[in-house]
Amino acid sequence: MDLNAYFNTEFDQHQITLDATRGALAEPFTRLVGVCAEAIRGGHKLVLFGNGGSAADCQHLATELVVRYITDRPPIAAIALTTDTSMLTAIGNDWSFDDLFSRQVDAIGSPGDVAIAISTSGKSENVIRALTVAKGKGLVAAGLGGKGGGRMLGLCDPFLMVPSDITSRIQEMHITLGHMLCGALEQELGLI
C-alpha cells in the first residue's frame, strides 16, 4: 500500500466534498441557524438524534451548545436522544428499535422545538419515524443528510444534504456544519 498516495487521496476527496458542500448549502444553513435561533429565543430547545457516528455527532453538538463552543456563555437548550442507555434499551426491547427516537420526541418534544436528525443515508426507520412525529407535534423537522437525501428528503426543512455518496466524507461535513451551527448560534443569540 502506498500510504502517501492514500493520505493525499483522502485529503483530495475531502476537499472535493468540502467545495461541493460550500457551494450547495449556504441557503439551507442560514435557514437552519434562523429556525434554531428563533426556537431558543422563544424558550424552546434543539432535539438531536441519529445512529452510529451520527449519534456521536448529536452528543458532541448538544454538548457544545449546552456547555460552550467558542467562549463561556449561558447554555443553549439542546439534548441528544442518544445518551440514555436505560431509555434506549427499554424502547428497543419493549417497543422496537424503529421507535427509539419517535417515542422520545413524542414524550419531550414541544411545538416550537427544533428536531435535528443526522443521517448519512436518510433511510433509517427510527430517524424517519421521529421526524414524522416531530412534524405532527409542531416541531421544526430539520436534518443533515447525504447520499441524495433518502427518505429524509421532503420530511426536513431546512435540510442540509451533503452532496456526496461517501459516508466518511458526509460525516466530516456534518461535524463541520454542526460546529458552524454552534458558532453561528452563539453569535446570532448575542452570547459572545
The CATH number for 183's domain is: 3.40.50.10490
- 111, three cell numbers: 411545538
DSSP state, residue 69: S
Q: Structural domain of residue 27, as residue ranges?
A: 3-188
pTM of the model: 0.97
Q: What is the pLDDT of residues 13-39, one digit of tens each?
A: 999 999 999 999 999 999 999 999 999
The model's pLDDT over 103-151, given as tens digits with 9 standing for 90+, comes to: 999 999 999 999 999 999 999 999 999 999 999 999 999 999 999 999 9
Segment 35-72, tens digit of pLDDT:
999 999 999 999 999 999 999 999 999 999 999 999 99
Residue 192 has pLDDT above 90, yes or no: no
Backbone Cα Rg of the chain:
17
- How many domains is the chain built from? 1
Alpha carbons 17 and 135: distance in angstroms, whole number: 30
**C-alpha pair distances (Å), 185 with each of 65, 70, 115, 149, 188:** 9, 11, 16, 25, 5
**What's the CA gap between 52 and 10, in Å, rounded?**
22
